[in-house]
Amino acid sequence: MAKTDELGPKGGKRYRCCICGESFGIKEVHVDHIDCVIPLDKTAESMTWDEIIKRIFCDITNLQVICTADHKIKSKEENLLRKGGVNRKTKGKQKQITDTSPTDSRDSKKPKRRRKTDE
């Protein structure tokens, strides 16, 4: 388990991300499947419900606690690889994933709206 002995500012429990190693509050972490629920060489449509359910409700050893930012990156990478047709025929020809590091919060501000002017 990735629970730490640290307490948050309000006394809440903290959890250590298995990817970046940082400590986060409960609202800032996700429980992630180490092995994808939908394998990279398959689509959900190609799987039976029994296969999907078996992979969702897996053994605890296939689960990890990761921060929301790392979960977003990991999921994006998996989806890009899946869309890139990763299978036995194209193995090694996956799309190259560039700069998946989280952006600084100052960089992700919404663009300012332009004022309408009467002409």
> What tens digit of pLDDT does each residue of 9-64 get?
667 889 999 999 999 999 999 999 999 999 999 888 999 999 999 999 999 999 99
- Cα–Cα distances in angstroms (integers) from residue 35 to residues 55, 61, 107, in the given order: 8, 10, 32
For position 12, what pLDDT does the model report? 80
Rounded to two decimals, the pTM is 0.62
For position 82, what pLDDT does the model report? 86
